[in-house]
Structure 1
Amino acid sequence: MSRLMRPVIPTMDFFQRCRLAAFFGALVLPGIVSAREIIVAPSGGDFAAVAAGVNAAQPGDTVTVRAGIYNEAVSFGRSGSAAAYITLHGEPGAILDGTGGSGQGITINNRNYIRVVGMTVRNFMGSGTPMGISVEGSSSFIELRNILIHNIESPNGNAHGIAFYGSAATPMTNIVVEGNEIRNCRLGQSEALVLNGNIDGFTVAGNTVHDNDNIGIDFIGFEGTGPLGQDQARNGVCVDNVVYNISSATNPTYGGDRSADGIYVDGGRDIVIERNKVDNCDIGIEVASEHLGKATSNITVRNNFISRGYQGNILMGGYDAARGNAHNVIVVNNTTYQGTNGEIELQYNCDGITIKNNILYARTGQSYISNGGGNNTNVVVDNNVYFGASSTSPGSYPDARARFVNPLLVTPLTDLHLQAVSPAIDAGINLGNDAQGQPLSGAWDVDGGPRFRGSAIDIGAHEFASGGLDTNRPAPVADLRTR
């Protein structure tokens, strides 16, 4: 019910107003949805509990949650429609708190056309697998935006901040996860943000994932989550995310092993990872498959800043010979900085790897590009800038146009952009187009500025502009609320 109607019927309760709206709605043109706003507030709203508001919502309705701490869990009992999403909107200070309980904060199971915006979800804990937000089955047209999730944890098991599990024969599609923050979660062997199983079509954009004790963002296949032949997260983009301080060093299930990725594709396919900023993770970005005989394939990693990865900044292939394959992986126009154990490593079972137009700024004595495992074939390395390792060899693979020169970054570590006199400016090679006719280098640099300006593209993630940084991003992401 809109607020404009409330003064007309002040003595009616919420359900009376709903019945009246339904009666008048039947008199208007067919197909027109009458949207209502349902207010949840500690006092003075239509409901005092978020779950009650969500249960009452019909397609087109918005459940607005006023500031307050709501000690409960929420599950969507019905779907919206293409023309009428059901929206759960948290105003600043609206907190869904799991203290004293367990399980999931928000559950969306086999529901479609659902939008969750602006809530804080925190303190869901327990010995099972607690999750801040759980999306399951064939749920499609799901949007999660501007949500803060923190302190989701299990003392001895697994946990997730946000988890999509495509477990049905019908794939999840049209998934948007944008502008969220996930922090301070204890995840066991799981991930802060994961898309797993039969998921076909997604955008993970503008999220900030930090200070978690296992993988930041993960796209998974071949774990038996979805039906055979469809059990892969696929056809998606991971763009404009900021991921930092991701480490399993203190995770009790890892015994001190440091193997948490900032961004990980484990069995996914047809995914573009671009314009992300990843710093101080056990592994910066990894493209691999943990299942023998199964391949992660058709992955593009481009226009990213990646720094201080403990095992390395970009890793590809299975982590040992008994794992799966990485096939057709394109690594172009990235800027990497001082991975503790090197910049790029091909582990095991890589085939069809392209490494071009990258700036690889290594630590003294570490490798630029290494063949750390075996069975790696069809590797093409060309036109990269190499600096810092006190070596005049790119590593395990030849680079005919290697440039051993200081790239002149603005302030290495804190600012990986190019100075105006950088030798990387206009030094990139034309990479051609992908199968869809789009430039393989991407149309936008790490900051969302045009990639094509000057006589040629620049090497690395940043395309220098004489007027300074171009902050006109191609797809703006709303700022997170302060909460």
Structure 2
Amino acid sequence: MLIVFGFTDSTHDKAIYVATNGNDQNDGTKSKPFRTLKKAVSEARAGTIVYIKEGTYKEKLIVRHSGTKLKPITFKAYNQDKVVLSGDDVKNVEGDTSLVSIDNKNYITISGLIIQELTTNLTNETVIGMYVTGSSSHIRLENNVVRKIETHAEDGNAHGIAIYGTGPMKDVHIINNTIEDLKLGWSESLVLNGNVDGFTIENNIVRRNDNIGIDLIGFEGISNDPKADYVRNGIVKNNEVYEISSYGNPAYGEEYNAGGVYVDGGKNITIDKNTIYNCDIGIEATSEHAKQYADNIQITDNIVYNNHYTGISIGGYDENRGGTINSSITKNIIYRNDTKGLAGGQLLLQHDIKNNVIERNILTAGPSRIFIANFFTTNQDNVLSRNVFHKEKGKTGLWVWKEEEFTSFQEFKRASTSDSQSSYLDPMFENETTYDFTLKKESPAKSIIE
């Protein structure tokens, strides 16, 4: 990008520079940069790009002004410099504390920053790496690293990235970020909650965190408009999520409850082509609130393996929760989950699920040998079709349907009215030991699932 006299391309007509050796009495040019983010933020109006030069900035970035559709505001690491926003010097105070804050602002991009080392010992303080709230829209968070955001309170909360739509929020893009090494208490690594309509979460790495990886939430009273209090109309695609577990988190103790990707009351959401492994639950879609639902959730083409409790779960975990409706689980590889032997199997079908389609998946049993675990009788009008259950030499399979166990695949099909095209055979993966789940040319599964 060519910069001439502090001006830039057609979307940004002004450039501001910040450097650790700058001075806020300077004019903010490349040769005379500002010293603080606070000064740059105060000067950054619509059409400004703020270039942050290499170094550690022990201050918050609180966005003060909105951009416009034609003239957004961008805060960006200069020339891919290593730019660190550190919370080392931030004191514990009750309420929400974040290193990057966007509140009721529009057309904002944050790009290429490392956001780290914000901690609290207070139960009533929630620490957050990047926080977007109010009616903020047209927000883009890209190429950032968020790490070591930690609550040390026994009953505390922390987030890596939190998008809270208290007012109407739309057009949120979270792309190519790394969110890692977080201590979250009751909260989540990357969360969208409340009145959020239209979003993309794509190409992120979420790893080594002690609660939920990616969470899309509704019906928690976040939105000012109760009728719009749920996340909707978005896609979660091409993310890699691993080592997400609540085990050892003081809020959960010795429970394996954390989902890699979790839809809790969202609607019209696609979860596509993600790779999720070594979590407690790979993918989960339901609602924790009775008589509310995860609705029209499309779970497709994901690779879900080696998770502790189950691979993919739908429905409420008890009869006081909501459920999952009008959704589909299609063309996923669900491989050797339930590694802790917790009876979640590969596919966990729980309370209040109806009008869902489960088709063309390949399921390989884990140590518990359970393919499908359905310990509730409240499932209605769900269709199982053209799934492949991996038959392994010398190993038997187990299916649980409406509380009844089946060791015979044919008896399970009759009980579940599963389509006659579902099969119990070896799908012939290219190389299971390296988790290459490409099907060999001669695979008999191809004609079933394609």
Question: TM class, shorter-chain normalised?
Answer: 0.7 to 0.9
Letter of the 2:318 counterpart: D
**Is 1:60 matched up with 2:80?**
no
**Alpha-carbon distance between aligned partners in 1 of 2:348 and 2:76, rounded to the nearest angstrom:** 43
Structure 1 residue aligned with 2:108, among 87, 109, 114?
A: 114
Tell me if the contact between 1:379 and 1:397 (Cα under 8 Å) persists in the aligned partners. no
String of CA shifts for 1:95-126, please: whole Å, max 9, x gaps.
10101315201000000000011100001111
Letter of the 2:430 counterpart: V
Report 1:201-240 matches (<5 A): 201-226=198-223, 227-240=225-238
**Alpha-carbon distance between aligned partners in 2 of 1:370 and 1:33, rounded to the nearest angstrom:** 53
Do the aligned partners of residues 409 and 365 (structure 1) sit closer, same or farther apart at CA in structure 2, a change above 3 Å counting? same
Paired-residue identity, %: 36
**Alpha-carbon distance between aligned partners in 1 of 2:204 and 2:34, rounded to the nearest angstrom:** 31
Aligned to 1:174: 171
Aligned to 2:28: none
Structure 2 residue aligned with 1:417, among 438, 441, 444?
A: 438
What is the deviation of 1:418?
1.9
The Cα RMSD (Å) is 1.7
Do the aligned partners of residues 149 and 364 (structure 1) sit closer, same or farther apart at CA in structure 2, a change above 3 Å counting? closer
What is the deviation of 1:363?
2.0
Aligned to 1:393: 409
**Alpha-carbon distance between aligned partners in 1 of 2:281 and 2:11, rounded to the nearest angstrom:** 48
What is the deviation of 1:364?
4.9
Aligned to 1:199: 196
Structure 2 residue aligned with 1:134, among 131, 134, 138?
A: 131
Query: Which structure dedicates a bigger proportion of its chain to strand?
Result: 2
Report 1:94-105 matches (<5 A): 94-102=83-91, 103-105=97-99
Tell me if the contact between 1:369 and 1:397 (Cα under 8 Å) persists in the aligned partners. no
String of CA shifts for 1:296-325, please: whole Å, max 9, x gaps.
111000000001121110000111110012
What is the deviation of 1:419?
2.3
Letter of the 2:409 counterpart: S
Letter of the 2:282 counterpart: G
Count of residues in Structure 1 that have an aligned counterpart in Structure 2: 402
Tell me if the contact between 1:117 and 1:144 (Cα under 8 Å) persists in the aligned partners. yes
**Alpha-carbon distance between aligned partners in 2 of 1:139 and 1:82, rounded to the nearest angstrom:** 13
**Alpha-carbon distance between aligned partners in 2 of 1:138 and 1:338, rounded to the nearest angstrom:** 42
**Alpha-carbon distance between aligned partners in 2 of 1:53 and 1:423, rounded to the nearest angstrom:** 61
Unaligned stretches of 5+ residues in structure 2:
23-31, 92-96, 339-343, 398-407
String of CA shifts for 1:51-97, please: whole Å, max 9, x gaps.
22122111111111111000011111110000011000013310101
Letter of the 2:165 counterpart: G
What is the deviation of 1:379?
1.3
**Is 1:379 matched up with 2:382?**
yes
Tell me if the contact between 1:106 and 1:133 (Cα under 8 Å) persists in the aligned partners. yes
Secondary structure of the 2:327 match is: strand
Secondary structure of the 2:228 match is: coil
Structure 2 residue aligned with 1:327, among 325, 342, 346?
A: 325
Report 1:224-373 matches (<5 A): 224-226=221-223, 227-340=225-338, 341-373=344-376
What is the deviation of 1:416?
2.0
Unaligned stretches of 5+ residues in structure 1:
7-20, 22-31, 429-456, 458-483
Aligned to 2:21: 43
**Alpha-carbon distance between aligned partners in 2 of 1:303 and 1:33, rounded to the nearest angstrom:** 36
Q: Which has the higher contact order (CA 8 A, sep 6+)?
A: 1
What is the deviation of 1:287?
0.5
